[in-house]
Structure 1
């Protein structure tokens, strides 16, 4: 199989030349265009999630040999979560080479966080099946490098930190209230307000409720000087 010009350029961006190019094609094929003769990337996504987790767990252990499980877990979660995978996918322009059905294309599928995150995991699995664990590890460590380096400051879940701050002062857990939503249906923007029962609050906007809640919690922590 000969790859299209777009997929050849994508190979260059991820830093892996496929000996079995059909694996790359499958990894970027969404279920909306699957058929009996064209497999989608869902099974690859399942495998890629595990490969990604193993590589990053190893990297975190090697990076900080004295860290406890309690310290490593939030760092790991920050690196493997779907939002991070989607961010990496955007950096390598994965959305541009996705094979999508017409309805997904019209609904902004190339920009959807969940779809991009899933496809990123599928690409990792394709590299693993094509070149083995070392090949997948090399690509992951390069694409995640800056995130691994900054994970100490970024790993703390803002919602968890805000809840701990509140509990430490005898306050009830924070509440998260949707106070607005705008944008088209295929790319909505949610405005969430984080509230404490002492009257403190802060709002933030993002493309998913989860991300908006995290951003609101972070904004409130900054306001509190925590």
Structure 2
């Protein structure tokens, strides 16, 4: 599976984990980074499928009027805020803690209006687990493909310690179709941000179904979700 683009061969049959996304660079332009965070709600609404994930993986596990949620690598916090809205419509109050180790994400979130039930911290999942924190649901969006093998193992081990009800890690499923469609979708949008450049690198860094199944520890399951998603799931029960 090889994609030809601008005369360059882009092999998508192999995960390209050597790529470094612009927003992960410590020296990246801060204004462009903030524009990238600001664009995430629009991008995730189209590509991330969290409404489907909420309906299938989270809402059926509600057992009471209040639940706690941890969002790992939350970026600008748009997924966490969407979950707050959807649960509120279903009569459930969520208390969401959004964490990101990048202080620039915290700085961006501080520019947004406050949201009831939403809190954010600059820390890692390991720090929270070592504090003895626990949450009903632990989730992440577009985090797995950023991680080295050791980092992935650590996040999954932390998730097991942190979650009482369920873990839902959602990420891109690598394919030529995903690459071409996202390239077209972002081509004339999101100028002055890293959305298109980083999004295409994200697809090249992401997993195929079999690859993530091979990495999943015992007790974890991997499922594909339309259109180009992978869910890495764990139910502690």
Is TM more than 0.5 here? no
Considering fraction of residues, name the structure with more strand: 2
Greater RCO, 1 or 2 (C-alpha within 8 Å, sep 6+): 2
Q: Which band: TM-score by shorter chain?
A: under 0.3
Q: TM-score, normalised by structure 1?
A: 0.23
Q: TM-score, normalised by structure 2?
A: 0.22
Larger radius of gyration: 1
Considering fraction of residues, name the structure with more helix: 1
